[in-house]
Structure 1
């Protein structure tokens, strides 16, 4: 067989392949179908469980068996994704209506993972059986071949309620994501009925029934006024809060408590531990002194996080602080994206109800068409049996005179009497007039003799009358939309009566949490940081008692006020700001906290050149010197900014900062001098007043002519109050700067060889 080389554009192939992959992920993995509100993996798990016979009245079966059947027959992907889908459908704190009845450890609201699938067991909830999987045998949905065409699976499940609203959905596809909150079943049913009565209903009118999300964790939605826009557009942000109440101490030995009994839906999982850690952080950072202790007393009965309070604590301020500084108030991003008519579509509340109502109508139509067809078949059979019972003697004579079953059947259907022996010509003549249908003839031939008893014949006639009633009923439902609507409403009302529940989430319009800063008693403190980057704040008295030890053990020591900000300049040309209040206080022997954990400073990629309080910078100038010998003076007031990180200077490509020095502006810099030292041993001394003042966004001017591959290694200042260095030890000997010839800026300098 000859090979043929196809020449094509690589970008075209890549584009087509990526689009195919993206659509596969969107439609076959990540997004739910608007009709049943299920992703393919969820649909396949539920169908596999039904095929295994795991109904609510049967024993639980190992989850591994369910996962194995789902993966082997319908879902050719990883077992972990299948088991995760099974687990989520069991968790009542994630789903408005759990679809799976689990037995064993299926995880907890606090983020504990489920046990391995070999340890847990599961079966279907009764709700799932009756509302999601009922009537599957009545041709209510289409089936398609599975991945290897050895099995058939439903394209969609015949779900009778808008599951997309009741259980919500979360999924990340390619270039799009869906996030739909769960809603109250009773409210959604009422909303569907209202839509059926008035298809032109507005979102505002629909929200009289579907008032808003109803999260299984309860909590409070505090921006109710924004829900209308969210439900009209299909996207927006819901602000959620946990429920907090105050418990007064009953005894003198006890403390007042602030108890959290409901949490935002977004807090479930590891975020509960994160919340407790954040509360502890508020205590350690002295943001609040009203909390004495925090404990998690949650159990199977529900959430209970207890904050013990000091006497006369400001409870209202503390609540606002928790909303402002922790995830007790959080945002739930809504993006109601689902597969509709085979493609992803952003849906409004009315769109979801509309799509599902049409789907429910289609399911019921197919159901009653199947039932009608079955009853019409039974009508045909019953008519034949009743007719046969009226001429039973002739039927018996035909059977006794027939040589084969085929001859008897031909006589009953077509009146063929040639191969049958009759007792009289009259019987033969009557037999030739018979014209039963194929199904009637088969039923007559299979009829048992006991059906000839008088009472049985009466029962047969009663069954026939009942069949006629059912046929009339089914034809009325199929032919009259009003009758179908009545059936749908009755179906929905029954579901609501059996499975409906009270709303858990409260809806309100609350003001944004505002925390007034408590007045701080200003006092002098000392910031210290060791060579490993661990920092802390020391009391002034502690520092003075141990000054010698501090000077020996710490690389950076900055005297400041507790209301100041500490400004950290690094060799990358940026300045990081950290509030002194955000730096934990400690005793002398405490290890401290890495500066990386407090601000934006990254010790792996940055080297600290200067740390100074912002109040000192206000009254000073800053001298910047780079490795490429660019120098400038900048007014310190330029660095009084609100941002935590700003560019302190502009650097040429490949250049880095070598030094940042504070130069006091009180007495000027007339007598000050700068000494620049290069890596090759060149020293240049010139007056500091020759350095030009620039803005922080400027590169600066050249301070020293450098040899090729040389760079500025150190700088020294003389005649400056903050730093006066008259001499250094260079090559094991003292080098006095006054002995170096005073030159002008941009000179080559002199090489010190000793």
Structure 2
């Protein structure tokens, strides 16, 4: 048995190393794109797999399930959902500057509708992917590495001919870092790259005269042009974007606002959220100018229409939409990419610089490969031309040879011993032959038809073209300017083929100023029924329907329309809701669930007490828990801005039973589930902070708990009930806090 070696090490060091290894794996191999091709591994592998499967732009579509399965099995063993999601995004025109995949079927919508399952959708490579991303893979332009199980080879990076990191942008969340790069206009990116190649000392400021700024597929308006220079110099910052709003005239002097372009950040659920926010502004009376809202968006573009009442203040309404909704938003820029297998935040110039260096590497490898092929072709062509001059001798050698080996030996090394010649002159001439192995092989493979005179002319012409190509390739490889000229020429051709007009406007806009309509302060009545549906009515409406209102509603609270309703729950929380957030209307209106306008969840907690915000300012509150803990707290401690706070601290498995405002009283009475009543002086209840548990009010049996709480005053008859019988609380014997109390008979 071999000796076991125990290695002692610090546990924290092991954890640190393991976590760093994991983080770097996520950064480099999953979430952050490579600066050279601007692709994450899953995108690169999906495109390469489609290329290998032959799903080209000019071939029929194939099921996405086939593409996803093949990619997962060969290159990306991280689950089919991540691969399909990547495939879908590359096919969505509203997500990318240029779509890399041509999708057929339901690939989702700009309004957040998801794509159909992969078994229903089909896809193929877009032409741009084939020509810009994958065109030179057969020319040894990039390194190929083993896949995860070393049964296949995959490209380390794709030979992308454009700075895809800028054109299509990138979004990804890694461990401890994230990348967020906006999309840009392809034509402007090409212009910036060419400008850099002509002057490597160009500044970011000068580059921005070619590449104006982000160009989002959803259009919109970038409104902080002056801040773009700092963003592109540092690689991080915030781009402010607004949707485009147009004013349309209607009959009768009415107008309507039409949103035709949205901020890129609003894609998906943001559109529904925007419409909901506008609806809330109308419900809360922040605006009364909007008569109707309709979303007329289609595959042809965004069209969200707000019909306005006659005489509406259009400019102020536009400003409200920008100020109060996500129609004006910020896009956080963090131009993080993998450079030499390390994450790095890059400036605009650095991204272009890395791309140009990569293009020169790709071009060098490409033209070395082409040069080697042309030199091989030149060698064979020269052999065939030479063979035309001695074709009769070659035929004599072939006829006099016993096998191909002897014939080839004669042609390459002049070995004539094993060959029968018609004359000694032929033998002497054969001994002088010195074709190369490749030339001899080509001659031996030549068809008789090649002996036609016209074929010789074609061969000589091909040889001349080959010599021109060799000279061209050697010039490109040996002269920087020649290679730069070729790359620039290719870039101009790509721009001519694929560039399109800019969609996003760039400008410096003034800060939006929205003047809110001042709300007239008035007293109203809050109503909430036993199902939690809440509404607000004016005092006159309530008083006219007082009997029905008191009967149908669990809570009826007078309050101010600019105030808040506060309510405490059995979980020890206090929730707040603005009165303006509640629907104001007619007495018979249904209202909205209180859950919808607050953080309260009726399925997880129960309301113990409800009051108007003003009551918090005027007194102290008594808190009692089922476990018998009791305290009084100043109401001012609950005057906070947060919608939800912890109103009290609770012991384990305890819950809040009672909250009430302390009016002038003499005694507190606690009633338990088992029928114990404890009456004690109110001054025995200590005042505590809201974060305290409190003090014990009553001693409880093992399974007993506080069921009811009463506040009594001398001279005022107060009654309780236990098992259907009335209990006169004024006649109870006065005791002390933290005792068991008196047992009542059922």
What residue is the counterpart of 1:333 in the other structure? 332
What residue is the counterpart of 1:466 in the other structure? 465
Q: Deviations over 1:122-141 (max 9, x none)?
A: 32222111111112221112
Distance 1:402 1:274, change over 3 A: same
Are residue 357 (structure 1) and residue 356 (structure 2) matched? Answer: yes
What residue is the counterpart of 1:291 in the other structure? 290
Comparing 66-75 with 460-469, greater Cα deviation is found at 66-75
What residue is the counterpart of 1:181 in the other structure? 182
What residue is the counterpart of 1:281 in the other structure? 280
State the 1:634 CA deviation: 4.5
Q: Deviations over 1:613-632 (max 9, x none)?
A: 22333333434445566655
Comparing 189-198 with 354-363, greater Cα deviation is found at 189-198
State the 1:83 CA deviation: 3.0
Distance 1:142 1:182 in 2: 28
Alignment check: 8 A CA contact 1:522 1:561 kept: yes
Distance 2:570 2:80 in 1: 50
What residue is the counterpart of 1:244 in the other structure? 245
Are residue 309 (structure 1) and residue 308 (structure 2) matched? Answer: yes
State the 1:515 CA deviation: 3.4
| Aligned 1:315-394 pairs, distance under 5 A | 315-394=314-393
Are residue 727 (structure 1) and residue 719 (structure 2) matched? Answer: yes
State the 1:185 CA deviation: 0.9
Distance 1:82 1:370 in 2: 33
What residue is the counterpart of 1:211 in the other structure? 212
Q: Deviations over 1:175-194 (max 9, x none)?
A: 54333222111121122223
Alignment check: 8 A CA contact 1:717 1:725 kept: no
Distance 1:651 1:103, change over 3 A: closer
3-state SS, counterpart of residue 576 of structure 1: strand
| Aligned 1:55-94 pairs, distance under 5 A | 55-94=56-95
Alignment check: 8 A CA contact 2:287 2:517 kept: no
3-state SS, counterpart of residue 443 of structure 2: helix
3-state SS, counterpart of residue 99 of structure 2: coil
Distance 1:421 1:748 in 2: 130
What residue is the counterpart of 1:143 in the other structure? 144
Alignment check: 8 A CA contact 2:570 2:605 kept: yes
Distance 2:532 2:333 in 1: 42
Distance 2:714 2:161 in 1: 83
Distance 1:3 1:176 in 2: 46
3-state SS, counterpart of residue 555 of structure 1: strand
Alignment check: 8 A CA contact 1:663 1:720 kept: no
Q: With structure 1 as the length reference, what TM-score do the two structures score?
A: 0.89
3-state SS, counterpart of residue 421 of structure 1: coil
Comparing 269-278 with 296-305, greater Cα deviation is found at 269-278
State the 1:217 CA deviation: 0.8
State the 1:3 CA deviation: 9.7
3-state SS, counterpart of residue 565 of structure 2: strand
Distance 1:258 1:137 in 2: 54
Distance 2:124 2:706 in 1: 74
Distance 1:298 1:539, change over 3 A: same
What residue is the counterpart of 1:115 in the other structure? 116
Distance 2:221 2:522 in 1: 41
Distance 2:685 2:151 in 1: 84
Alignment check: 8 A CA contact 2:411 2:433 kept: yes
State the 1:170 CA deviation: 2.7
Alignment check: 8 A CA contact 2:717 2:728 kept: no
Distance 1:584 1:7, change over 3 A: farther
What residue is the counterpart of 2:98 in the other structure? 97
Comparing 452-461 with 285-294, greater Cα deviation is found at 452-461
Distance 1:413 1:534, change over 3 A: same
When the two chains are superposed, the root-mean-square deviation of aligned CA atoms in Å is 3.3
State the 1:248 CA deviation: 1.6
Give unpaired runs (5+ residues) of structure 2.
Answer: none
Distance 1:288 1:424, change over 3 A: same
Are residue 716 (structure 1) and residue 717 (structure 2) matched? Answer: no
Comparing 227-236 with 87-96, greater Cα deviation is found at 227-236
State the 1:30 CA deviation: 3.2
Alignment check: 8 A CA contact 2:621 2:634 kept: yes
Alignment check: 8 A CA contact 1:716 1:725 kept: no
Are residue 45 (structure 1) and residue 39 (structure 2) matched? Answer: no
Comparing 676-685 with 43-52, greater Cα deviation is found at 676-685
Comparing 695-704 with 566-575, greater Cα deviation is found at 695-704
| Aligned 1:597-616 pairs, distance under 5 A | 597-616=596-615
State the 1:685 CA deviation: 4.7
